[in-house]
Amino acid sequence: DDVDRAYFAVFDGHGGVDAANYSATHLHVNLGLHEEIVKNPAEALKCSFQKTDEMFLFKAKREKLRSGTTGVSALIVGNRLHIAWLGDSQVMLVQQGKAVALMEPHKPERE
């Protein structure tokens, strides 16, 4: 289609780099192949995070891997910004020198 898109992501491995590397390799592919990427990018991001997690859990069980990762991604579609995150990773937008809150961070005391 004629819509400009850009994708950015950062993963912070816990207990090793396996989960972070796996996510960096597969999340954007799952996102790009998701059927809702054009009509509902937010839903596509959510489902792609879940699918990537399920895929890694299968690999981790098979290969006896014991790492995890946090992650944050930004998908720009035209002039809209979509943010998705997992764990305690955070993203910040600075607009004209001022921080703009984009998310409520995951904290242990939060339900």
pLDDT category at 35 given cuts 50, 70, 90 is very high
Strands (E), the chain: 5-14, 68-77, 80-86, 93-95, 98-100
The residue segments making up the domain with residue 56 are 5-101
- Asked whether residue 108 is domain-assigned, the answer is no
**CA-CA distance, 29 to 99, in Å (whole number)?**
30
Of 30, 38, 33, 55, which is closest to residue 4 (Cα–Cα)?
A: 38
- Asked whether residue 19 is domain-assigned, the answer is yes
- Asked whether residue 109 is domain-assigned, the answer is no
pLDDT category at 27 given cuts 50, 70, 90 is very high
Cβ atoms within 10 A of the Cβ of 31, count? 24
pLDDT of residue 62: 97
The CATH number for 61's domain is 3.60.40.10
pLDDT of residue 60: 97
- Asked whether residue 20 is domain-assigned, the answer is yes
**CA-CA distance, 32 to 29, in Å (whole number)?**
5
Helix (H) or strand (E) holding 105: none
Between 19 and 85, where is the model more confident? 19
Number of domains within the chain: 1
- Asked whether residue 10 is domain-assigned, the answer is yes
- Asked whether residue 18 is domain-assigned, the answer is yes
pLDDT of residue 103: 81
